[in-house]
Amino acid sequence: MKLTLSFFLIFLSAYFVQSFLIPQNKINQHNTALNDTVYYHVDDLGLPLKGKENCITLTNKILKNINGEFPKILVFKPGTYHFYPEGCEQRNYFESNTTDINPRICAFLFEGAKNLVVEGNGSNFIFHGQMQPFTFDNCENITLKNIQIDWENPLTAQVEVAETGENFIDLNINQKEYSYKITDGKIFFNGKDWEEQWKGTMEFDREGRYVVPQTGDWGCLGKNWQNYEAKSIIPGLIRLENNFERKPKVGNYLVMRHSERLHSGIFIQNSKNINIKNVTLYHATGLGILAQFSENLTFDKYKAIPNATKNRYFGGGDDGLQVSNCKGQITVNNCEFAGLMDDPINVHGTSVQVIEILPDKKIKCKFMHHQSEGLQWGHAGDKIGFIENTSMNTFAYGEAESFKPTNRQEFILTLKEELPQNLETGDALENLTWAPDLTIQNSHFKSCRARGVLVSTPEKVVIENNIFESSGSAILIAGDANNWFESGAVKDVTIRNNTFTELCNTSSYQFCEGIISIYPEIPELNQNTPFFHKNIRITGNKFNPFDYPVVFARSVDGLSFSNNTIKKSKKYAPYHQRKYTFTFEACKNIIINENNYIGDVLGKNILLNQTNFSEIEVQNQENLKIETL
């Protein structure tokens, strides 16, 4: 009897698997020798479309069987699915610009998947606690589409300003969504197996949903705000007592930051040809999307925004999209970013420091920023640039033969050729192979903390047809080997047909020296220092500044600002320390041509610092006053 029952169960199992994996269509025939597309209908496993049951166990059954190179589509029926850490796969990942705490808790873990479409059909994926919703590791030809990602209880909080007085601020808080307690006069947010203290604040305008001007970071409550003493008046109403330098407006919302960056919303590593399409990320417990050491990535109709149905003012994570040490073509199209706690887009490489020069063409190097430790920084055949760290001059190039980590902070790099004779400890290395072409177009950068787009890549960059409303600089072109160690001197950048509204640069953050800020960190900058950035064209854009600085540039060889319209806004009072429309530090080959100034544009002037008059050409009688330092 037992034998018969066992045989019957085996038969049913085999029948189920066969019926679950029936080929139903023929697509992508040019991508694979196997023409039949296999549909994996997740709901055939009995996933609940309602309720809050953990769906991890059932979805894991499918993920473990998604292999092979034939085209396949993983289909979710429209609904709401909940996912908890219990039952998730765990992996050790060194994730760029993320706190190094392993293992990572991975909900949807795709390892070595190829030719796969994940079709969400507009479903809501609700996560609980610290976890990484989607991980694509060593994958190829992947599309993730039509999914909304959110958290039942976010790891960021918000409160409504109920009342203010001479020495107090009263706050309304939704206790159900943002669980908290007050211990020794300080606010701690908590959940299952975690507790974190409130550590940062952003104020958002109630109606406009933008960062209130001149309140970014410490400007919100002023210095020494952390000396507050919290008291509970009634459940859901907190009083903060302190001599605050500044108080928020009653009715506005404060976003209260408290969590570490432990997981990305979507993590892409060592992968190729990844397409994120029509995915909305309402929250993440770190970066929204992080892609590292991957190639050819497309983000189309990706949104990292607040969940308006829950009246949230904070959006999908810290950075909306971070691209670290990637190559090929990166395309961002028709995307939207709002309410983020850091920059919507950051594209950069990672520089490392030389700490010891060894025999046999070997160099001992160190990751200098704690959020870059452990990265698989080099590969055989990679092109390496040698950087003198005080001038930031790339003085030699080489080719990697091998990369060998000695611990998570240090590694030995072996070169194919002899080391440069003038290489010294303290110099930096840059991996020039892992640097992408970048196109950002038709996207909306609404008000977030900090800048709009950060760009540090030597390959071709096009930023066009976008709207910028970032509370800091709209575009920051940086690069350094001394602080953040985010490498990438630009060589070919076009910024055209964008609109920069009066919301740009309304608060002061690091490196926000203009609406467009070109700010490499060069410790010893002078007229004899080799130029860091090259060939930047700013053309056909509309600027609506309320303040003076429009463009700030340092160490650039070849910058043109042409056919732009600058129309003065009177919405806000000017505050910026820079009182020049254009500032050029240690630059050459500058052209300002055919621009239209409307209204009483502040300044209408140019400051040249360590830049000769002969290096700037102002055409078409623009009547710009030029001053020198």
Q: What is the pLDDT of residues 38-51, one digit of tens each?
A: 999 998 888 887 78
Q: What is the pLDDT of residues 125-160, one digit of tens each?
A: 999 999 999 999 999 999 999 999 999 999 999 999
Q: Is the pLDDT of residue 1 over 50?
A: no
Q: Count of CB atoms within 10 A of residue 404's CB?
A: 10
Q: What is the pLDDT of residues 323-333, one digit of tens each?
A: 999 999 999 99
Helix, strand, coil % (nearest 5) of the chain?
5, 45, 50
Query: DSSP character for 342?
Result: S
**CA 577 → CA 212, 476, 505, 513, 625, distances in Å?**
19, 18, 12, 9, 18
Tokens (6 digits) for 375:
């990265």
Q: What is the identity of the amino acid at 148? A: Q
Q: What is the pLDDT of residue 66?
A: 86
Q: What is the pLDDT of residue 193?
A: 85
Q: DSSP labels for 63-93?
A: HTT--SSS-EEEE--SSEEEE-STT-EEE--
- In 3D space, the residue among 331, 294, 273, 338 whose CA is nearest the CA of residue 115 turns out to be 273
Exposed, middle or buried: residue 625 (CB in 10 Å: 0-12, 13-18, 19+)?
A: exposed
- In 3D space, the residue among 577, 568, 567, 572 whose CA is nearest the CA of residue 541 turns out to be 567
Q: What is the pLDDT of residue 587?
A: 98
What sign does the CA torsion over 42, 45, 48, 52 have? negative
Exposed, middle or buried: residue 46 (CB in 10 Å: 0-12, 13-18, 19+)?
A: exposed
- In 3D space, the residue among 40, 118, 43, 126 whose CA is nearest the CA of residue 77 turns out to be 43
Q: How far apart are CA 232 and CA 230, in angstroms?
A: 7
Please, are residues 538 and 532 in contact by the beta-carbon 8 Å criterion? no
Higher pLDDT, 481 or 462: 462
Q: What is the pLDDT of residue 321?
A: 99
Chain centroid to Cα 281, Å, comes to: 13
3-state secondary structure of 296: strand
Residue position matching structure tokens 């520089």: 351
Q: How far apart are CA 509 and CA 494, in angstroms?
A: 24
Residue position matching structure tokens 């002969």: 614
Q: What is the pLDDT of residue 205?
A: 98
Non-local CB neighbours of 9 within 8 Å, separated by 6+ positions = none
Give the pairing type, strands 253-257 and 200-204. Answer: antiparallel
Element (H, E) at 13: helix 2-20
Tell me what the pLDDT averaged over the chain comes to. 93
Strand order of the β-sheet with 157-165 is 200-204, 253-257, 157-165, 168-172, 237-241, 229-234
**CA 282 → CA 97, 311, 336, distances in Å?**
20, 12, 12
Beta strands per DSSP E along 359-446: 362-366, 383-388, 393-405, 410-415, 428-431, 437-441, 444-445
Q: What is the pLDDT of residues 482-534, one digit of tens each?
A: 889 999 999 999 999 999 999 999 999 999 999 999 999 999 998 889 999 99
Query: Any bridge partners for residue 106, and if so which?
Result: 89, 132
Non-local CB neighbours of 311 within 8 Å, separated by 6+ positions = none
Q: What is the pLDDT of residue 67?
A: 83
**CA 57 → CA 60, 135, 626, distances in Å?**
5, 16, 67
Q: What is the pLDDT of residues 144-201, one digit of tens each?
A: 999 999 999 999 999 999 999 999 999 999 999 999 999 999 999 999 889 999 999 9
Q: What is the pLDDT of residue 65?
A: 84
